[in-house]
Chain A
Amino acid sequence: MNHAWTPEIKNELDAIVAKYETKRAPILEILRTLQERFGYITKETEAAVGKYLEIPAINVREVMTFYTLFYAKPRGKKCLRVCRTLTCALLGAADLVEHAEQKLGIKAGETTPDGEYSLYAVECLGACEIAPMMQVDDDEYVGAVTKEKIDQVIKR
């Protein structure tokens, strides 16, 4: 896939940088914006971000590997993040993760070979009032998760 920066993307990044005191500070927003465009961050994008923010590529790598929301590889078209921290665990999260794993034939942390689904067992997402919960794709919180609800998301 072509991850080159069009003038439009470049303008968007420039507008983000302009809000901050230093060039390096907005790196999380910069990586997030690029990932929203391209789906994941390639080695080439990392290098380009380093150059753009005037920091060594290793500093970009440090950030990429420290935070869980950045992806160095393509993810599935559909992404399930099942919470497994205490409240969700008390309400059956382990069974739900196992069910999703069996349904998809992969382990948590993996993507199906056809590139359709990625599954993650994640730590608390701040929605214990609707536990057990999961995040579907990057923006939807689903509560009171059951095996049936997982089956509705995983259409296979």
Chain B
Amino acid sequence: MISPFILIAVFIVSTVLGYVIIRNVPSLLHTPLMSGMNALSGVTIVGAISTTGISLLSGGGWLSQVAGMIAIALAAVNVFGGFGVTHRMLMMFHKSKNRSPEGQNSASREV
């Protein structure tokens, strides 16, 4: 078991890092970023998997298995759905970027 102090230290360090990194995000990307972050919060799937797995292997009751399975499923929806949606959104930004030169050309031609 890791010492609580290390866990708290890790929490604080990562909090500060996260804070620093997000400071300069253009609002253009707020939605994709939030949605990506949201997908990341499904990281709790890691906890759900280990808890459920260990519980089963050490002969835990069926109630904990049901709860664990629900936790895994919920977190999996969060992770897969979150990253999928974010990817879709970002691809739209990408698409419009690639198209811009064409659009500008056609506009200037018609002028």
A, B in one complex: no
